[in-house]
Amino acid sequence: MSMPLLFPVLQAADLTAAASDSMNVMQALVLGVVQGLTEYIPVSSTAHLRIVPALLGWGDPGAAFSAVIQLGTLAAVLVYFMKDIQRLALGAVLGRVQRHRQADGLLAWKIALGNVPIVVMGLAFKHKIENEARSLILIAAMLMAVAVVMVLADRLAKGRGGMTGLSWTRALAIGLFQALALIPGTSRSGITIVGGLFLGLERSEAARFSFLLGIPAILGSGLFELKALVQLWGQGGTAGQGAALAAGVAGAAVVGYLTIGFLLNWLKSHSMGVFAGYRLALGGLILWLATAGMIQ
Protein backbone atom coordinates (compact mmCIF):
# COMPACT_ATOMS: atom_id res chain seq x y z
CA MET A 1 0.00 0.00 0.00
CA SER A 2 1.00 3.56 -0.70
CA MET A 3 -0.94 6.06 1.29
CA PRO A 4 -2.98 8.51 -0.74
CA LEU A 5 -2.77 12.11 0.41
CA LEU A 6 -3.51 12.09 4.10
CA PHE A 7 -6.90 13.64 4.87
CA PRO A 8 -7.69 14.45 1.19
CA VAL A 9 -10.51 16.98 1.00
CA LEU A 10 -12.18 15.58 -2.09
CA GLN A 11 -14.67 17.77 -3.86
CA ALA A 12 -17.89 16.33 -5.22
CA ALA A 13 -16.85 17.32 -8.72
CA ASP A 14 -13.68 15.23 -8.39
CA LEU A 15 -15.69 12.20 -7.31
CA THR A 16 -18.13 12.70 -10.14
CA ALA A 17 -15.23 12.62 -12.57
CA ALA A 18 -13.75 9.59 -10.80
CA ALA A 19 -16.96 7.60 -11.25
CA SER A 20 -18.06 9.13 -14.53
CA ASP A 21 -19.78 7.28 -17.31
CA SER A 22 -16.33 6.32 -18.64
CA MET A 23 -15.78 4.37 -15.41
CA ASN A 24 -18.36 1.60 -15.59
CA VAL A 25 -19.24 -0.85 -12.84
CA MET A 26 -16.98 -3.59 -14.19
CA GLN A 27 -13.97 -1.30 -14.41
CA ALA A 28 -14.60 0.00 -10.89
CA LEU A 29 -14.95 -3.57 -9.59
CA VAL A 30 -11.66 -4.59 -11.22
CA LEU A 31 -9.90 -1.63 -9.61
CA GLY A 32 -11.55 -2.46 -6.28
CA VAL A 33 -10.16 -5.99 -6.47
CA VAL A 34 -6.75 -4.55 -7.36
CA GLN A 35 -7.00 -2.27 -4.32
CA GLY A 36 -7.94 -5.17 -2.07
CA LEU A 37 -5.08 -7.32 -3.34
CA THR A 38 -2.40 -4.65 -3.04
CA GLU A 39 -3.42 -2.52 -0.04
CA TYR A 40 -1.88 -4.84 2.55
CA ILE A 41 0.48 -6.97 0.48
CA PRO A 42 3.71 -4.90 0.25
CA VAL A 43 3.53 -4.06 -3.45
CA SER A 44 1.85 -0.59 -3.33
CA SER A 45 -1.86 -0.18 -4.00
CA THR A 46 -1.48 3.40 -5.24
CA ALA A 47 1.07 2.24 -7.81
CA HIS A 48 -1.26 -0.50 -9.06
CA LEU A 49 -4.27 1.80 -9.25
CA ARG A 50 -2.15 4.04 -11.47
CA ILE A 51 -0.50 1.25 -13.49
CA VAL A 52 -3.40 -1.14 -14.17
CA PRO A 53 -5.66 1.45 -15.88
CA ALA A 54 -2.66 2.69 -17.90
CA LEU A 55 -1.93 -0.85 -19.13
CA LEU A 56 -5.61 -1.47 -19.96
CA GLY A 57 -5.99 1.86 -21.72
CA TRP A 58 -8.58 3.17 -19.26
CA GLY A 59 -6.74 6.32 -18.24
CA ASP A 60 -5.82 7.41 -14.72
CA PRO A 61 -8.91 7.13 -12.46
CA GLY A 62 -7.39 9.86 -10.29
CA ALA A 63 -6.49 10.26 -6.65
CA ALA A 64 -10.15 10.83 -5.77
CA PHE A 65 -11.31 7.40 -6.91
CA SER A 66 -8.27 5.76 -5.29
CA ALA A 67 -9.10 7.46 -1.99
CA VAL A 68 -12.78 6.49 -2.10
CA ILE A 69 -12.29 2.77 -2.69
CA GLN A 70 -9.81 2.76 0.19
CA LEU A 71 -12.93 2.78 2.36
CA GLY A 72 -13.36 -0.86 1.39
CA THR A 73 -9.96 -1.92 2.67
CA LEU A 74 -10.53 0.20 5.77
CA ALA A 75 -13.66 -1.85 6.46
CA ALA A 76 -11.66 -5.04 5.90
CA VAL A 77 -8.99 -4.19 8.47
CA LEU A 78 -11.55 -2.96 11.01
CA VAL A 79 -13.48 -6.24 10.78
CA TYR A 80 -10.37 -8.44 10.76
CA PHE A 81 -8.84 -6.75 13.82
CA MET A 82 -12.10 -5.97 15.63
CA LYS A 83 -11.10 -7.78 18.82
CA ASP A 84 -7.66 -6.17 18.84
CA ILE A 85 -9.17 -2.73 18.27
CA GLN A 86 -11.70 -3.19 21.08
CA ARG A 87 -8.98 -4.39 23.44
CA LEU A 88 -6.66 -1.51 22.60
CA ALA A 89 -9.45 1.06 22.89
CA LEU A 90 -10.48 -0.26 26.30
CA GLY A 91 -6.86 -0.36 27.36
CA ALA A 92 -6.34 3.27 26.37
CA VAL A 93 -9.39 4.34 28.39
CA LEU A 94 -9.05 2.03 31.39
CA GLY A 95 -5.31 1.54 31.55
CA ARG A 96 -4.89 3.84 34.52
CA VAL A 97 -7.78 2.20 36.35
CA GLN A 98 -7.23 -1.50 35.69
CA ARG A 99 -3.56 -2.44 35.73
CA HIS A 100 -4.05 -5.59 33.65
CA ARG A 101 -4.99 -3.36 30.72
CA GLN A 102 -1.83 -1.28 31.02
CA ALA A 103 0.05 -3.03 28.17
CA ASP A 104 -2.89 -2.64 25.78
CA GLY A 105 -3.31 1.00 26.73
CA LEU A 106 0.35 1.78 26.18
CA LEU A 107 0.30 0.08 22.78
CA ALA A 108 -2.75 2.10 21.77
CA TRP A 109 -1.01 5.36 22.63
CA LYS A 110 2.17 4.23 20.86
CA ILE A 111 0.09 3.61 17.73
CA ALA A 112 -1.29 7.14 18.07
CA LEU A 113 2.26 8.51 18.41
CA GLY A 114 3.34 6.55 15.35
CA ASN A 115 0.76 8.40 13.25
CA VAL A 116 2.10 11.86 14.07
CA PRO A 117 4.78 11.85 11.32
CA ILE A 118 2.37 10.99 8.50
CA VAL A 119 -0.09 13.66 9.64
CA VAL A 120 2.62 16.33 9.75
CA MET A 121 4.21 15.31 6.45
CA GLY A 122 0.87 14.87 4.71
CA LEU A 123 -0.23 18.37 5.60
CA ALA A 124 3.17 19.92 4.91
CA PHE A 125 3.49 18.45 1.43
CA LYS A 126 -0.19 18.40 0.47
CA HIS A 127 0.25 20.33 -2.79
CA LYS A 128 3.21 18.32 -4.07
CA ILE A 129 1.55 14.98 -3.29
CA GLU A 130 -1.68 16.01 -5.01
CA ASN A 131 -0.07 17.45 -8.14
CA GLU A 132 3.40 16.06 -8.66
CA ALA A 133 3.56 12.53 -7.27
CA ARG A 134 1.63 10.40 -9.79
CA SER A 135 4.44 10.12 -12.32
CA LEU A 136 4.92 6.58 -13.61
CA ILE A 137 8.69 7.13 -13.56
CA LEU A 138 8.59 8.02 -9.85
CA ILE A 139 6.31 5.07 -9.08
CA ALA A 140 8.62 2.65 -10.93
CA ALA A 141 11.66 4.02 -9.10
CA MET A 142 9.98 3.64 -5.70
CA LEU A 143 8.80 0.11 -6.50
CA MET A 144 12.39 -0.94 -7.15
CA ALA A 145 14.04 1.07 -4.39
CA VAL A 146 11.76 -0.28 -1.66
CA ALA A 147 12.22 -3.81 -3.04
CA VAL A 148 15.95 -3.53 -2.33
CA VAL A 149 15.25 -2.27 1.20
CA MET A 150 12.85 -5.20 1.78
CA VAL A 151 15.53 -7.70 0.79
CA LEU A 152 18.04 -6.02 3.11
CA ALA A 153 15.54 -6.11 5.97
CA ASP A 154 14.90 -9.81 5.45
CA ARG A 155 18.61 -10.62 5.41
CA LEU A 156 19.95 -8.26 8.05
CA ALA A 157 17.14 -7.80 10.58
CA LYS A 158 17.01 -10.44 13.29
CA GLY A 159 13.92 -9.26 15.11
CA ARG A 160 12.35 -11.63 17.62
CA GLY A 161 10.23 -9.23 19.63
CA GLY A 162 6.49 -8.65 19.85
CA MET A 163 4.71 -5.37 19.27
CA THR A 164 3.65 -4.98 22.91
CA GLY A 165 7.33 -4.62 23.80
CA LEU A 166 7.91 -1.66 21.47
CA SER A 167 9.36 1.41 23.13
CA TRP A 168 7.93 4.86 22.48
CA THR A 169 11.01 5.75 20.44
CA ARG A 170 10.72 2.70 18.19
CA ALA A 171 6.99 3.24 17.66
CA LEU A 172 7.72 6.81 16.53
CA ALA A 173 10.52 5.54 14.29
CA ILE A 174 8.15 3.10 12.55
CA GLY A 175 5.80 6.06 12.14
CA LEU A 176 8.59 7.87 10.28
CA PHE A 177 8.84 4.89 7.93
CA GLN A 178 5.07 5.10 7.43
CA ALA A 179 5.35 8.76 6.36
CA LEU A 180 7.46 7.65 3.38
CA ALA A 181 4.35 5.91 2.03
CA LEU A 182 2.98 9.31 1.01
CA ILE A 183 5.20 8.79 -2.05
CA PRO A 184 3.28 6.58 -4.54
CA GLY A 185 5.01 3.28 -5.18
CA THR A 186 6.40 2.97 -1.66
CA SER A 187 3.73 0.73 -0.03
CA ARG A 188 2.67 1.69 3.46
CA SER A 189 2.48 -1.91 4.61
CA GLY A 190 5.83 -2.76 3.02
CA ILE A 191 7.78 0.15 4.42
CA THR A 192 6.32 -0.15 7.93
CA ILE A 193 6.98 -3.90 8.02
CA VAL A 194 10.56 -3.13 6.99
CA GLY A 195 10.75 -0.54 9.78
CA GLY A 196 9.40 -3.04 12.27
CA LEU A 197 11.97 -5.65 11.22
CA PHE A 198 14.88 -3.24 11.53
CA LEU A 199 13.59 -2.15 14.94
CA GLY A 200 13.38 -5.63 16.43
CA LEU A 201 9.96 -7.09 15.57
CA GLU A 202 9.61 -10.54 14.08
CA ARG A 203 7.89 -10.67 10.68
CA SER A 204 4.30 -11.52 11.58
CA GLU A 205 4.35 -9.08 14.53
CA ALA A 206 5.76 -6.36 12.28
CA ALA A 207 2.85 -6.98 9.89
CA ARG A 208 0.24 -6.84 12.65
CA PHE A 209 1.67 -3.59 13.97
CA SER A 210 1.73 -2.22 10.42
CA PHE A 211 -1.97 -2.94 9.94
CA LEU A 212 -2.96 -1.48 13.31
CA LEU A 213 -0.74 1.56 12.76
CA GLY A 214 -2.51 2.32 9.50
CA ILE A 215 -6.03 2.39 10.94
CA PRO A 216 -6.00 5.96 12.35
CA ALA A 217 -4.59 7.47 9.14
CA ILE A 218 -6.95 5.53 6.87
CA LEU A 219 -9.89 6.28 9.15
CA GLY A 220 -9.04 9.98 9.22
CA SER A 221 -8.96 10.22 5.44
CA GLY A 222 -12.07 8.07 5.25
CA LEU A 223 -14.09 10.63 7.21
CA PHE A 224 -13.32 13.24 4.56
CA GLU A 225 -14.18 10.78 1.81
CA LEU A 226 -17.57 10.10 3.36
CA LYS A 227 -18.20 13.83 3.47
CA ALA A 228 -17.32 14.09 -0.20
CA LEU A 229 -19.67 11.22 -1.07
CA VAL A 230 -22.52 13.05 0.63
CA GLN A 231 -21.62 16.16 -1.38
CA LEU A 232 -21.68 14.10 -4.57
CA TRP A 233 -25.22 12.94 -4.05
CA GLY A 234 -26.29 16.40 -2.97
CA GLN A 235 -25.06 17.82 -6.27
CA GLY A 236 -26.73 15.42 -8.66
CA GLY A 237 -24.67 12.27 -8.68
CA THR A 238 -26.18 9.60 -10.92
CA ALA A 239 -27.12 6.03 -10.08
CA GLY A 240 -24.40 4.81 -12.46
CA GLN A 241 -21.73 6.75 -10.63
CA GLY A 242 -22.95 5.48 -7.28
CA ALA A 243 -23.03 1.89 -8.54
CA ALA A 244 -19.46 2.15 -9.83
CA LEU A 245 -18.18 3.54 -6.55
CA ALA A 246 -20.11 0.90 -4.57
CA ALA A 247 -18.66 -1.88 -6.72
CA GLY A 248 -15.14 -0.61 -6.18
CA VAL A 249 -15.58 -0.31 -2.42
CA ALA A 250 -17.21 -3.75 -2.13
CA GLY A 251 -14.51 -5.46 -4.18
CA ALA A 252 -11.79 -3.81 -2.10
CA ALA A 253 -13.46 -4.85 1.17
CA VAL A 254 -13.92 -8.54 0.35
CA VAL A 255 -10.54 -9.08 -1.27
CA GLY A 256 -8.77 -6.91 1.32
CA TYR A 257 -10.10 -9.06 4.17
CA LEU A 258 -8.81 -12.24 2.51
CA THR A 259 -5.47 -10.61 1.74
CA ILE A 260 -4.81 -9.64 5.37
CA GLY A 261 -5.19 -13.25 6.50
CA PHE A 262 -3.00 -14.48 3.66
CA LEU A 263 -0.14 -12.10 4.43
CA LEU A 264 -0.14 -12.74 8.18
CA ASN A 265 0.02 -16.49 7.59
CA TRP A 266 2.63 -16.13 4.84
CA LEU A 267 5.03 -14.11 6.99
CA LYS A 268 4.99 -16.69 9.78
CA SER A 269 7.21 -18.94 7.67
CA HIS A 270 8.28 -16.98 4.59
CA SER A 271 10.33 -13.89 3.84
CA MET A 272 9.26 -10.90 1.76
CA GLY A 273 11.54 -11.99 -1.08
CA VAL A 274 8.74 -12.94 -3.46
CA PHE A 275 7.15 -9.51 -3.07
CA ALA A 276 10.50 -7.79 -3.56
CA GLY A 277 11.08 -9.78 -6.73
CA TYR A 278 7.65 -8.83 -8.04
CA ARG A 279 8.28 -5.16 -7.28
CA LEU A 280 11.61 -5.21 -9.11
CA ALA A 281 10.10 -6.87 -12.18
CA LEU A 282 7.06 -4.57 -12.27
CA GLY A 283 9.11 -1.46 -11.63
CA GLY A 284 11.53 -2.34 -14.42
CA LEU A 285 8.67 -3.05 -16.84
CA ILE A 286 6.87 0.21 -16.05
CA LEU A 287 10.10 2.20 -16.29
CA TRP A 288 10.76 0.75 -19.76
CA LEU A 289 7.20 1.27 -21.00
CA ALA A 290 7.02 4.83 -19.62
CA THR A 291 10.37 5.97 -20.96
CA ALA A 292 9.51 4.44 -24.35
CA GLY A 293 6.26 6.41 -24.36
CA MET A 294 4.14 3.24 -24.58
CA ILE A 295 2.10 4.14 -21.49
CA GLN A 296 1.49 7.44 -19.73
What pTM, to 2 d.p., does this model score?
A: 0.84
pLDDT band at residue 234 under the 50/70/90 scheme: low
**What's the pLDDT score for residue 83?**
92
Q: Where are the domains of the chain?
A: 12-291
Mean pLDDT rounded to a whole number for the chain: 83
CB neighbour list of residue 259: distance below 8 Å, 6 or more residues apart: 36, 37, 39, 40, 41, 76
Model confidence pLDDT, tens digit, residues 176-192: 999 998 888 999 999 99
Residue of 74, 72, 86 lying closest to 211 (CA atoms): 74
d(CA 278, CA 207): 19
pLDDT band at residue 205 under the 50/70/90 scheme: very high
